[in-house]
């Protein structure tokens, strides 16, 4: 219900008050407007209680200068982490867990208006997430959901796209005006819209 008819970016954290995640939450707070322009809501999750999230927010603002105004799910019983396969379903130890125990809870999910996961990406503990890449992936997901195109490696908004194999040459000319046959199975055209 919270997502509505738009997209959601759910990004998870193994523990509150962890250094890499502190930088990530602040960066996402600074990028919230960009995600909003794409009808995408941001929501964080950590296996700690919401009360800890509230305390952590002041550290995040202190370090990054950005206020975390998007919601953060408290998942101290690891129900959501297990539901989304961030932790094994058999994991039942809640108390005394560390960030290392929760290492796989470092995933970003893009969820579509149909409430299905469109993309997931899991990062290691020591590597900060590239939210510009998440934004680029969201742009691609939204573009390809609207038009019969795919995006090539390294694509950025405004770049040429690939006409999907499901589109005939005649339909491609009708939809896109023109396309370039790069290989027998690879046709490119200007980004529609």
**Coil, strand, or helix at residue 40?**
strand
Q: In the chain, what are the helix, strand and coil shares in percent, each to the nearest 5?
A: 35, 20, 45
Per-residue pLDDT tens over the stretch 88-103: 777 777 777 777 777 7
Nearest residue to 172 via CA among 185, 187, 184, 186: 187
Does an H or E element contain 81, and which? helix 79-83
Q: Average pLDDT in the 63-74 region?
A: 97
Is residue 92 within 8 A of residue 109, CB to CB? The reply is no
What's the pLDDT score for residue 94? 72
Is residue 22 within 8 A of residue 53, CB to CB? The reply is no
Mean pLDDT of all residues belonging to the chain: 93
Active site residues: 21, 114
């Amino acid at each position: 219900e919270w997502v509505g008819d738009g997209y959601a970016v759910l990004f998870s954290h193994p523990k509150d008050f962890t250094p890499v995640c502190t930088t990530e939450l602040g960066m996402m707070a600074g990028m919230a407007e960009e995600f909003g322009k794409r009808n995408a809501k941001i929501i964080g999750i950590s296996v700690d209680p919401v009360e800890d999230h509230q305390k952590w927010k002041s550290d995040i603002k202190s370090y990054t200068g950005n206020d975390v105004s998007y919601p953060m799910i408290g998942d101290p019983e690891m129900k959501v982490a297990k539901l989304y396969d961030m932790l094994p379903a058999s994991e039942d130890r809640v108390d005394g867990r560390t960030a290392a125990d929760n290492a796989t809870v470092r995933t970003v999910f893009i969820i579509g208006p149909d409430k299905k996961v469109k993309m997931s990406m899991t990062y290691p503990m020591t590597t900060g997430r590239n939210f510009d890449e998440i934004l680029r992936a969201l742009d691609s997901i939204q573009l390809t959901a609207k038009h019969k195109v795919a995006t090539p490696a390294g694509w950025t908004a405004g770049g040429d796209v690939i006409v999907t194999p499901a589109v005939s040459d005649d339909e491609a000319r009708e939809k896109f005006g023109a396309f370039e046959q790069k290989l027998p199975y690879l046709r490119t055209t200007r980004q529609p819209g």
